[in-house]
Structure 1
Amino acid sequence: MRKLRTLDLSECILLAKIPESIHTLGSLKFLYLKGCDLLSRIPHLGGSTVSLPYFVVRAGDDDESSSNLVLLQSTDPVELQISELENVKSPGEADRIKLVEKHSLKDLKLEWTRGVERFVYDKMLLKNLVPPSTLKKLEICGYNGVSFPAWLVGQLPNLVSLVLRDMANVEEWNTSYSSDEEHVIQILEIHGCPMLRMKRSLLKAKSWVISHSDNVLSSLDECTVSHASVSSSTSPITIVLSVKYCKGPHRWRLLQHFTGLSSLSIHNCGDLTGSPEITHHLSSLEALCLEDEHMEELPKWLGELASLQSLEIRWSNGVTELNETMRQLTMLQSLNLSYCHNLSLPHWLGELTSLKELVVCSNDVLRSLPESIQQLTDLQKIKISNCPKLEHVVNESLEGMMKRTHNQETVCVMPASLKELTIHICHGIKSLPEGIHQLTNLKNLEIDECYYLYQWCKLEESKKLAHIQNKSFVW
Structure 2
Amino acid sequence: MAQGYIVSLDGGQCLEDTAEEFFLILLRRCLFQDVKKDQWGNITSVKMHDLMHDVAQDVQRDEYGKDLSSSTRIRSYFADDFVDKEIENMTALRSLMLISREFTFLYSLDKLLLLRYIFVGLKYLEAIPNSITRLYNLQTLHLHCKHLRELPKDFSNLINLRCLNLRGCRFLIGMPLGLDKLTNLKVLSYFVAGNEDLCGELKVIQTFSEIKGGMHIKIGENYKNVNGLSDIGEGEGYLNNMKHLSKVKIEFEGECVNPEGVLIKLQPSPNLKRFKLEGYHESVEYMEKEFSSSVDTEAIAEFFPSLETLIIRKMSELIGWWKGNVNMRLRFPCLSFLNIENCPNLTSFAPYYSTKNLPEHDLPRLSELLIETCPNLASNLIFPSLEKLKLNNVNEGLLITCVYPQVSVTKQREMITDNLKSLRISYVTELTLQYCGDMEVERFLEALEQSCASSLLTLEINSCAYLKRLSGLEYLTSLQELKLSNNEQLCMNEDDEEPWKSFHSLRKLNIYSLQKIKSSPKGMKHLTSLQDLSIYYCHNLEGLPQWMSSLSSLQSLVIDYCNGIKSFPKAIKDLTSLKSLTLTNCSDLIERCKNPNAEDFLKIQHIPEDNKRAWR
| TM-score relative to the length of structure 1 | 0.64
The answer for the alignment partner of 2:243 in structure 1 is 133
CA-atom RMSD in angstroms: 5.5
Aligned mates of 1:342, 1:380 — CA distance in 2: 27
Q: How does 1:204-243 map to 2 (within 5 A)?
A: 204-207=333-336, 208-213=338-343, 218=348, 220-221=350-351, 229=360, 236-238=364-366, 240-243=368-371
Change in Cα spacing, 1:349 to 1:455, as seen in structure 2 (3 Å) is farther
1:380-411 C-alpha deviation (Å, 9 max, x unpaired): 4444444455556xx1439959x9xxxxx955
The answer for the alignment partner of 1:333 in structure 2 is 457
The answer for the alignment partner of 2:487 in structure 1 is 363
Whichever residue aligns with residue 317 of structure 2, its letter is: M
Which of 143, 151, 154 is the aligned partner of 2:269? 154
Pairwise CA distance, 1:308? 4.0
Aligned mates of 1:122, 1:382 — CA distance in 2: 63
* Alignment check: 8 A CA contact 2:213 2:246 kept: yes
Aligned mates of 2:221, 2:484 — CA distance in 1: 49
Asked if residue 252 in structure 1 is aligned to residue 361 in structure 2, the reply is no
Asked if residue 58 in structure 1 is aligned to residue 149 in structure 2, the reply is yes
Pairwise CA distance, 1:284? 3.2
Whichever residue aligns with residue 311 of structure 2, its letter is: E
1:407-434 C-alpha deviation (Å, 9 max, x unpaired): xx95556694x78877766665567896
Give secondary structure in 2 for the equivalent of 1:146: helix
* Alignment check: 8 A CA contact 2:402 2:425 kept: yes
Aligned mates of 1:438, 1:175 — CA distance in 2: 67
Whichever residue aligns with residue 446 of structure 2, its letter is: T
* Alignment check: 8 A CA contact 1:437 1:465 kept: no
Asked if residue 164 in structure 1 is aligned to residue 277 in structure 2, the reply is yes
Aligned mates of 1:436, 1:77 — CA distance in 2: 72
Unaligned ranges ≥5, structure 1: 10-16, 34-38, 404-408
Give secondary structure in 1 for the equivalent of 2:379: helix
Which of 96, 99, 105 is the aligned partner of 1:23? 105
Aligned mates of 2:608, 2:552 — CA distance in 1: 18
Aligned mates of 1:130, 1:54 — CA distance in 2: 30
The answer for the alignment partner of 1:397 in structure 2 is 522
Which has the higher mean CA deviation after the structures are superposed, 458-467 or 127-136? 458-467
Aligned mates of 2:590, 2:214 — CA distance in 1: 49
* Alignment check: 8 A CA contact 1:260 1:284 kept: yes
Change in Cα spacing, 1:168 to 1:356, as seen in structure 2 (3 Å) is farther
Pairwise CA distance, 1:167? 2.5
Whichever residue aligns with residue 167 of structure 1, its letter is: Y
Give secondary structure in 2 for the equivalent of 1:136: strand
Give secondary structure in 2 for the equivalent of 1:95: helix
Give secondary structure in 2 for the equivalent of 1:312: strand
Whichever residue aligns with residue 265 of structure 1, its letter is: L
Could you say which structure has the larger radius of gyration? 2
Pairwise CA distance, 1:353? 1.8
Give secondary structure in 1 for the equivalent of 2:105: helix
Aligned mates of 2:239, 2:459 — CA distance in 1: 46
Asked if residue 44 in structure 1 is aligned to residue 161 in structure 2, the reply is no
Which of 475, 478, 503 is the aligned partner of 1:354? 478
Which of 185, 188, 204 is the aligned partner of 1:95? 204
Pairwise CA distance, 1:442? 8.2
Aligned mates of 1:351, 1:218 — CA distance in 2: 35
Pairwise CA distance, 1:252? 1.4
Number of equivalent positions: 420
Whichever residue aligns with residue 340 of structure 1, its letter is: C
* Alignment check: 8 A CA contact 2:349 2:379 kept: no
Unaligned ranges ≥5, structure 2: 1-83, 89-94, 111-116, 133-140, 157-172, 230-236, 296-300, 323-327, 353-357, 529-545, 596-600
Aligned mates of 2:191, 2:606 — CA distance in 1: 60
Which of 76, 82, 95 is the aligned partner of 2:190? 82
1:270-303 C-alpha deviation (Å, 9 max, x unpaired): 453x66xx37x544388462421xx4xx74x55x
Asked if residue 190 in structure 1 is aligned to residue 312 in structure 2, the reply is yes
Pairwise CA distance, 1:59? 4.8
Whichever residue aligns with residue 161 of structure 1, its letter is: R
The answer for the alignment partner of 1:13 in structure 2 is none
1:34-78 C-alpha deviation (Å, 9 max, x unpaired): xxxxx9x6642424575446777725899x999455698599677
Whichever residue aligns with residue 506 of structure 2, its letter is: L
Aligned mates of 2:350, 2:119 — CA distance in 1: 44
Pairwise CA distance, 1:211? 2.4
Pairwise CA distance, 1:247? 1.9
* Alignment check: 8 A CA contact 1:123 1:149 kept: no
Aligned mates of 2:206, 2:107 — CA distance in 1: 24
* Alignment check: 8 A CA contact 2:316 2:345 kept: yes
Give secondary structure in 1 for the equivalent of 2:442: coil
Pairwise CA distance, 1:138? 3.0
Asked if residue 289 in structure 1 is aligned to residue 380 in structure 2, the reply is no
* Alignment check: 8 A CA contact 1:316 1:339 kept: yes
Aligned mates of 1:71, 1:430 — CA distance in 2: 79
Aligned mates of 1:7, 1:431 — CA distance in 2: 64
Aligned mates of 2:392, 2:472 — CA distance in 1: 28
Whichever residue aligns with residue 46 of structure 1, its letter is: I
Aligned mates of 1:413, 1:266 — CA distance in 2: 40
Change in Cα spacing, 1:437 to 1:291, as seen in structure 2 (3 Å) is farther
Pairwise CA distance, 1:99? 4.1
Aligned mates of 2:547, 2:417 — CA distance in 1: 40
Give secondary structure in 2 for the equivalent of 1:343: coil
Give secondary structure in 1 for the equivalent of 2:249: strand
Give secondary structure in 2 for the equivalent of 1:154: coil
Change in Cα spacing, 1:283 to 1:319, as seen in structure 2 (3 Å) is closer
Whichever residue aligns with residue 260 of structure 2, its letter is: V
* Alignment check: 8 A CA contact 1:351 1:375 kept: yes
* Alignment check: 8 A CA contact 1:382 1:420 kept: no
Change in Cα spacing, 1:119 to 1:341, as seen in structure 2 (3 Å) is same
Structure showing greater relative contact order (alpha-carbon pairs closer than 8 Å, 6 or more residues apart): 1
* Alignment check: 8 A CA contact 2:218 2:250 kept: yes
1:181-231 C-alpha deviation (Å, 9 max, x unpaired): 894332222222233442485544332332223565526349xxxx9649x
The answer for the alignment partner of 2:215 in structure 1 is 108
Aligned mates of 1:269, 1:180 — CA distance in 2: 29
Aligned mates of 1:109, 1:424 — CA distance in 2: 49
Percent of pairs identical after alignment? Answer: 17
The answer for the alignment partner of 1:14 in structure 2 is none
